[in-house]
Amino acid sequence: MDLYCGIDWATAHHDVVVVHADGRVVARGRVGNDAAGFSRVLTLLAEAGDSAEHPIPVAIETDRGLWVAALRETGRAIYPINPLAASRYRARYAVSGAKSDATDAVLLANIIRTDPDAHRRLPADTELAQAIRVLARAQQDAVWARQQIGNQIRDLLKDFYPAALAAFADLPSGGLARADARIILAAAPTPAQAAKLTPARLRLTDAYLHQPPMVENAMGIQLAALLRQFEAACAAADELAEAAIAHFEQHPDAAITRASGKKTVVTHRHIKNRRLAAVGAIWALASLRGSPGARRHFDARRATGDWNRQAQRHLFNEFLGQLHHCLQTGQLYNEHQAFPPPLPLAA
């Protein structure tokens, strides 16, 4: 590759630069964030030397959006550069490290000119895989939003309605996020209103301290407002989970990522480091209950001195490597091969 493109994107416009392998800037321009702007970029690339046989690779500080989708369709290599990584390169070109759209476009092009192997190309995913990615991200965002509102509700209940927390604390499968818990709280958003419920429905009138009546009523109004947000967040998380699972089941590799020895679970993977890290602990902990090999691996790491979280991360990394191997080779996951038992057990 002799030419490299960097695109510093913004809401209203994008700065585009093409640099030669020797570092010279051979083309630059600022285009609008619209179809005409994208057409102008293609023209700029063609004038710089772009061709169907040798499309110029592009570095851009995002891995999603209409522009990335359109660039993907041109068949060129796309390098989504993490903004934090880009900021660390900035000192090469400006001692102050100050950000500038025009210079950042040059910086991005130079990143893939000088360090292409240090950055991951955007994979050439199918349309279905991209749809799964969108839904998986949206579902995780919805779960985080649900958790955030749930935490606000718990904090509020501690201040004026601890009986509700005590009543729902031991409920399995969701606690406050359960539909029946949300219905009861919506029907009785204050201790005074709970006292009017019949014992057959719920008892939330255990002996607790109370806020003054007007304060309790105001907090009940706040709780009712949060519950409406919570209801929407729970519904969104459930709907997106169903949609993600339905799309995931259509993927040719679904059987590979579902299979785990004799056990099969319906799940989907999240992409992007922050999201992958968020699911890692859940994956590792779940495997300790369902996989004897994973339990042996975890216990062995603990025995060598790893902290609990270190052992979890190491186990998660093992699973990622195994998943990558299965996807590359088309093999199903095999517990016995992934975590060979000790020789006495194997015999």
pLDDT tens string for the chain (347 positions)?
A: 699 999 998 888 999 999 999 999 999 999 999 999 999 999 999 999 999 899 999 999 998 888 998 998 898 999 999 888 888 888 776 665 556 667 899 999 999 999 999 899 998 888 898 899 899 889 989 999 999 999 999 999 999 998 888 888 777 667 888 888 888 889 889 888 887 776 544 556 556 778 898 999 999 999 999 999 999 999 999 999 999 999 989 988 888 765 544 444 444 443 345 777 777 888 888 889 889 999 999 999 999 999 988 888 899 899 888 888 888 888 888 888 888 887 665 54
Of 104, 124, 144, which residue is a domain's last?
124
Give the end of a domain, one of 211, 228, 250.
250
For residue 268, the tally of other CB atoms under 10 A from its CB is 21
Whether residue 258 sits in one domain with residue 246: no
CA distance linking residue 139 with residue 243, whole number of Å: 9
Shared domain check, 208 and 136: yes
Q: Are residues 114 and 148 in the same domain?
A: no
**Does 226 lie in the same domain as 112?**
no
Query: HSE-up of 307 (CA within 13 Å, CB side)?
Result: 2
Task: State which residues form the domain around 168.
Answer: 128-250
Q: Which of 250, 269, 288 is the last residue of a domain?
A: 250
**Long-range contacts, 226-233 (Cβ 8 Å, 24+):** 226/149, 226/152, 226/153, 226/156, 227/153, 227/182, 227/185, 227/186, 227/189, 229/149, 230/146, 230/149, 230/150, 230/153, 230/176, 230/177, 230/182, 231/182, 231/186, 233/142, 233/145, 233/146, 233/149
Shared-domain flag, residues 146 and 242:
yes
